Amino acid sequence: MLAGPVDGANVLDLFAGSGAMGLEALSRGAERATFVEGDPRAAAVIQKNLDKLRLTGARIVRADATRALAAEAAAGAKYDLVLVDPPYDSYESLQPMLARYLPTLLAEEGLVLVETSERVSPELPLELFKSRTYGSVRVSVFGA
């Protein structure tokens, strides 16, 4: 849903897993990407993929999303693009935490892309630009 380059962007990839979305952003011109992943094995896969693709500008944070978001907010971090792809069955319980931290982390004119089950309509205290379903997946784009 985000066509074209993301040149110079600072990207936050929450619930990064293999890091596919953050890696894609780096390959499309993002300057920096922070990958948040609590599972050490998944974090190792992200590092391996970064090395294999020879991508620079990455930082891997091995922590759960709540702690990582709180730390990033306390540090005054700002992101141009935030990618949120949590386990689908946990989105509704995570939504209050996301609503608390994401607006403070979003740079001016920044975007938040949220992937959920098609049955879930994410709500954040941000403007919903578009929301589309692709089979069993819903992708929603929010902005400041």
Summarize pLDDT for 71-93 with one digit per residue, the tens: 999 999 999 999 999 998 899 99
27 neighbors 10 (Cβ within 8 angstroms):
no
Domain-embedded: residue 1 = no
CA–CA gap between residue 25 and residue 50 (Å, rounded) = 12
CA angle (102, 46, 2) in 5-degree steps? 50
- Looking at residues 107-116, what average pLDDT do you find? 94
Domain-embedded: residue 4 = no
Task: For 38-54, give one letter per residue: b (16+ CB within 10 A) or e.
Answer: beeebbebbeebbeeee
Give the whole-number percent of the chain exceeding pLDDT 90.
92
| Residue 2 pLDDT | 61
Q: Where are the alpha helices (DSSP H) in 1-144?
A: 20-27, 40-53, 65-74, 91-105
| Residue 144 pLDDT | 80
- Give the CATH number for residue 67: 3.40.50.150
Question: By residue range, what is the domain housing residue 112?
Answer: 10-143
pTM of the entire predicted model: 0.94
Domain-embedded: residue 109 = yes
